[in-house]
């Protein structure tokens, strides 16, 4: 199997950082590029209580996207080795669909993403992003867990 493009979603969590470490190793071994993706949930007035008055949702969304782009640049400065090509994307939309769309557009050979230990009712009702990406992705998905402490 030849791996040329690896999509790595990030929510800037410890789980996503660990997944990037795995992807970086795979990209080095296979001389592949990484596409690091952060999905910003669309901003709508439904996200705010009636008591809050926000006049310009487009401007708010632009600020959120700009902040995410800055965080990706900061992340790249700390984590990305010079030997691996890494492209960054900030997309607006529901994470699952945006991750799958980027993987399709990039003709990704693999998605490497962190698991997130959501439990309880929210997991039963919504499922995790990782589970939903596994079900809908156009390519194989590697879900990375954090290392367990030694007993």
pLDDT tens-digit readout, 63-109: 889 999 999 988 888 877 778 899 999 999 999 999 999 999 999 99
The answer, yes or no, to whether residue 124 has pLDDT greater than 70, is no
Q: Is 122 part of a structural domain of the chain?
A: yes
Q: Is 50 part of a structural domain of the chain?
A: yes
Q: Is 119 part of a structural domain of the chain?
A: yes
**Which pLDDT does position 122 carry in this prediction?**
45
Q: What global pTM score does this model have?
A: 0.83
d(CA 73, CA 87): 10
Q: Is 49 part of a structural domain of the chain?
A: yes
The answer, yes or no, to whether residue 55 has pLDDT greater than 80, is no
Residue pair 143/115 in contact (Cβ under 8 Å)? The answer is yes
The answer, yes or no, to whether residue 125 has pLDDT greater than 50, is no
Q: Is 150 part of a structural domain of the chain?
A: no
User: Across all residues in the chain, what is the average pLDDT?
Assistant: 84
Q: Is 151 part of a structural domain of the chain?
A: no
- 91 is written with which tokens? 């997309």
Q: How many domains does the chain have?
A: 1
Q: Is 97 part of a structural domain of the chain?
A: yes
Contacts for 146 with CB less than 8 Å, ≥ 6 apart? 14, 15, 18, 114
CATH number at residue 72: 3.40.50.620
Q: Is 149 part of a structural domain of the chain?
A: no
Q: Binning pLDDT at 50, 70 and 90, where does residue 128 land? A: confident
| Domain residue limits at 75 | 5-144
**Which pLDDT does position 138 carry in this prediction?**
96
How many Cβ atoms sit within 10 Å of the Cβ of residue 123? 13
For range 14-32, the mean pLDDT: 93
């Amino acid at each position: 199997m030849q791996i040329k493009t690896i999509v790595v979603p990030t929510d800037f969590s410890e789980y996503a950082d660990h997944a990037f470490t795995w992807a970086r190793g795979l990209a080095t071994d296979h001389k592949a590029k990484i596409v690091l993706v952060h999905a910003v949930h669309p901003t709508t007035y439904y996200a705010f209580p009636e008591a809050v008055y926000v006049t310009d949702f487009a401007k708010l969304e632009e600020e959120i996207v700009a902040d995410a782009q800055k965080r990706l640049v900061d992340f790249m400065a700390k984590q990305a080795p010079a030997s691996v090509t890494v492209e960054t994307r900030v997309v607006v939309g529901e994470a699952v669909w945006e991750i799958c769309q980027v993987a399709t557009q990039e003709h990704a050979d693999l998605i490497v993403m962190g698991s997130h230990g959501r439990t309880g009712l929210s997991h039963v009702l919504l499922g995790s992003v990782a589970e939903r990406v596994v079900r809908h992705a156009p390519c194989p998905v590697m879900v990375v867990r954090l290392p367990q402490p030694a007993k």
